[in-house]
Structure 1
Amino acid sequence: MQNDKLKSYLHFHVIVFIWGFTAVLGALISLNAVPLVWYRMLLASVFILLWIRFKKKSLKVAPKKLLILIVAGLVIAAHWLTFFGAIKVSNVSITLAMLSTGAFFTSILEPIFYKRKFVGYEVLFGLVVIAGLYIIFNVETDYFWGILLGLLSAFLSAVFTMINGKLVHHAAPSVISFYELLTGALGISVYLLIVTFLGDGSKGFNAAFFSISLSDWGYLFILASVCTAYAFIASVAVMKHLSPYTVMLTINLEPVYGILLAFLVFGSDEKMSPQFYYGAAIILATVILNGYLKTKRKINKIS
C-alpha cells in the first residue's frame, strides 16, 4: 500500500510536469490560439475515444447531464483559448503566474456552487492575491493584455473545475472528458464557420488553416496525446492513492515547472523583473496556504 502511494506520488509529479510543459508547447506552436485549441481538442477527443473503446466503456450519458457537459466543453474551450491567447501576446511566465490564481477563484466560486458560507481567511487571502497581482501589473505594463487574458483563463478554469466536480459522480472521467473536448471542438467549429461565411474569411476555415508545418504537427500530437489525453486519464488513476492536500500541493507546482521549462527553452525571452517573481511567489504561497488550511478543516470535520 505504501509502495503504491509512493509510485502514485512520483507519477503525479510527472503528470504535473507534463501540464507545465503544455504552456511551452503553446509557445513553440506557430498557430494562433483558435486553430491551436481546435486541433488540440479534436485530436484529444479522438485519442480518448480510442481509449474508451479499448476499455469497452459505455458512452451513454443522461440527457440532463449531457447538457451540462456541453456547457463544460464550451467553458474549457474558452479557458484554453484565453490561456494560449495570453501566451501569444505575452509569454509563458506571465500566463502561468496568472493561471496560479485559479485556486483563488475556486475558493470564491465554491461557496456559490456548493452553497456554503465564505470562510474569513479566504477573504484575507483574496486581498493578498490582489496585492501580488498589483505588483505584477505595476512592473510588467508591456504585458497588460497577457495578464488580463491569463486572469480570465484562470477564472474559466475555476468555473470548469466547479462544473466537473458535480459531473464526476455521474459518469466515468474519460467519458466526461470525451464529450467536453468534442463539444469544445464543435463550438469552435461553429465560430469558424460563421467567421468564414459571414465575416473575415482569412480567420476561418481556409487553406492556411489546414496548412500546418511538420514541426507544428509534431508539437500538436504531443499536446493532444501526452499533455491532454494521457495526463487526464493518468491523473484520475493516481489521485485514488493520494490525499487531497498532496494533490493540491503538487498541482500548485505546475506554474513553477512551466516557468523553469520556459526559461530553459526560450532563455532571455522569459526572463522577468525581480518584482514579477516577488508577486508570483506571493500568489503561489497564498494559494498553497489556502489549500493547506482548507484540507486541514476537512480532516478536522471528519475526525
Structure 2
Amino acid sequence: MLNDKLKNYLHLHFLVFIAGFTAILGKLISINAVSLVWYRMLFATILMIAYVKLFKVNLQITKKELIKLCLAGVIIALHWITFYGAIKVANISIALAMFSTGAFFASFLEPIFYKRKIIPYEIFFGLIVILGVYLIVQSEIQHLKGMILGIVSAFLSSLFAVLNGKFLEQHSATKISFYEFLSGVIFITIYIALFGEGFTASFFSINASDIGYLLLLASICTAYAFIASVYVMRYISPYTVVLTYNLEPIYGIILALILFPETEIMSSSFYIGAFVILAVVLFNGIIKNLKYLKRKRKHKPL
C-alpha cells in the first residue's frame, strides 16, 4: 500500500498532467477561443454552484472585495482566451513554451504586490528567458502572432496568480474561484453580445465531440482540478506544488508530439529555446523551495 505522502505526490503529478492536457483539449475543440472559454467558464461555474450548495460554502463578501474578485475574473478569462488563441493560430508547443515565461513576469509582479525587493538572480533568470524566447522567435517567425498571444497569456496568468495569493489571505479558495468564474462568464457574455458574433443559433450549434471535450475541460480539468489542488496543498508545501506545476508545459508538449506529430514537430532551435526557458523556470523553483525549507528549519522550535 502507498503511504499518504506518496499518494498526495502522485495526485499532484496527475493534476499537473491534467493541466497540460487542457492544451490538448484546446486543439481538439473546433470552436474559436472566445466561445471555448465562455463554455468552459459557464460549465465550471454551474459545477461550482453545485459544490457550494452541497458543502454550504459561505459566499458573503464586501462590495469592495467583490469588485476586486470580479476584475481578477476578467483577467482569468482574458488569460484563457489568449492561451487558446495562441493554440488556434500557432500550435500547442508554441503556446506552452511562451506560457512558461510566466515565471519571468512573476519575478517583477510579486515585488509590486507584496512590497518586497526585486531579487537580483530573478532578473538574471529573466534575461536568460528572453534569450530562450529569442531562439524560438528566430526559428519559428511564422508563428509570431501565436507567440505574442502566448506571452500575453503568461503575463495575465502571473498577474492573477499574484492577485489570488493576496486574496487567499482573506478569503477561501472556493469563494475566490466562484466569483472569478462567475464574473468571467458575465464579461465574455457582454463581449460576445456587443462585439462578437452574438448569441445566434450558429453560436450554440456545436458538434457532439466538442460538447464532450468542453464538459471534460470544465469538470475534470477545471472544477475537479481546482478542488483537488486545494486538498493537495493541505499536505504538500505550496512551494513544492508551484515547482511541480512548472512541469505542465513539458507534459503538454510531450502529449502534443505524440498526438499531433504532423503539426507539433518543430525546429531544433525551438526545442533549445524551450529547454532554456523550462530549465530556468525549474531551477528558479528549486532555489525558492530550498530557501523556504531553510527558513522553516531556522524557525523550527528547539
Q: Is the 8 A contact 1:72 1:160 kept in 2?
A: yes
Q: What letter is aligned with 1:225?
A: S
Alpha-carbon offset, residue 250 of structure 1? 1.2
Alpha-carbon distance in structure 1 between the residues aligned to 2:143 and 2:157: 21
Q: Secondary structure at the match of 1:105?
A: helix
Of 231, 234, 243 in structure 2, the residue corresponding to residue 249 of structure 1 is 243
What TM-score does the superposition give when structure 2 sets the normalisation length?
Answer: 0.95
C-alpha contact (below 8 Å) 2:240/2:289 kept by paired residues: no
What is the distance in 2 between the residues matched to 1:243 and 1:73? Answer: 26
Partners of 1:172 and 1:113 in 2: how far apart?
Answer: 19
Name the amino acid aligned to 1:143: H
User: Which residue is 1:294 aligned to?
Assistant: 288
Deviation readout 1:236-258 (Å, 9 max, x if unpaired): 11012112342122101101111
> What letter corresponds to residue 11 of structure 2 in structure 1?
H
* Counterpart contact for 2:107–2:123, Cα < 8 Å: no
| Separation of aligned partners in 2, 1:283 and 1:195 | 36
Shift of 1:191: 0.9
Higher mean displacement: 89-98 or 186-195: 186-195
Please give the per-residue CA displacement for 1:256-284, whole angstroms capped at 9, x wherever unaligned. 11111111221221101111111011001
> Any conservation in 2 of the 1:248–1:288 contact (CA below 8 Å)?
no
Alignment partner, residue 103 of structure 2? 103
Distance, in Å, in 2 between the alignment partners of 1:111 and 1:87 is: 31
The Cα of 1:181 is off from its aligned counterpart by: 0.7
**Aligned partner of residue 30 in structure 1, secondary structure:** coil
Q: Which residue number in structure 2 is paired with residue 186 of structure 1?
A: 186
TM-score relative to the length of structure 1: 0.95
CA–CA distance in structure 1, aligned partners of residues 268 and 147 of structure 2: 17
Does the aligned pair in 1 maintain the 2:100–2:249 contact within 8 Å?
Answer: yes
Deviations 1:45-73 (A, max 9, x none): 11011111111111212222111100100
Equivalent pair of 1:26/1:84 in contact (CA under 8 Å):
yes
Please list every run of 5 or more consecutive structure 1 residues that lacks an aligned counterpart in the other structure. Answer: 197-202
Paired position in structure 1 for 2:165: 165
**1:267 match:** 261
SS at 1:170's partner residue?
coil
> 1:39-78 counterparts in 2 under 5 A?
39-78=39-78
1:206 to 200, 220, 230: 200
Aligned to 1:175: 175
Deviation per CA, 1:204-230: give whole Å up to 9, x if none: 221111111011000000000000000
Please say which of residues 223-232 and 285-294 is displaced more in the overlay. 285-294
Aligned length: 296
Structure 1 residue 220 and structure 2 residue 207: aligned? no
Aligned to 1:86: 86
* Residues 257 and 264, structure 2, Cα contact 8 Å, conserved in 1: yes
Could you tell me how far apart the structure 1 residues matched to 2:162 and 2:59 are? Answer: 22
Provide the secondary structure at the position in 2 that maps to 1:241: coil
Alpha-carbon distance in structure 2 between the residues aligned to 1:56 and 1:229: 16
Report the secondary structure of 2:234's partner residue. Answer: helix
Q: Is the 8 A contact 1:45 1:182 kept in 2?
A: yes
> Where does structure 2 lack aligned partners over 5 or more consecutive residues?
none
Query: Are the equivalent residues in 2 in contact too, given 1:44–1:229 (CA < 8 A)?
Result: yes
Alpha-carbon distance between aligned partners in 2 of 1:207 and 1:49, rounded to the nearest angstrom: 27
- Given that 2:239 and 2:292 are in contact with CA atoms closer than 8 Å, whether structure 1 keeps it comes out as no
Q: Residue 4 of structure 1: CA displacement?
A: 2.1
Q: Which residue of the partner structure matches residue 227 of structure 2?
A: 233
SS in 1 for 2:122: helix
3-state SS of paired residue (2:233): helix
CA contact (8 A) 1:244 1:295 kept: no
Give distance in 2, aligned partners of 1:240 and 1:59.
Answer: 21
CA distance in 1, matches of 2:244, 2:190: 37
Say if 1:76 and 1:156, in contact at 8 Å, map to a contact too. yes
- Residue type matched to 2:202 in 1? A
1:137-176 equivalence runs, <5 A: 137-176=137-176
Percent identity reads 55
Equivalent residues of 2:100, 2:154 under 8 A apart? yes
The residue type equivalent to 1:209 in the other structure is F
CA RMSD of aligned residues (A): 1.3
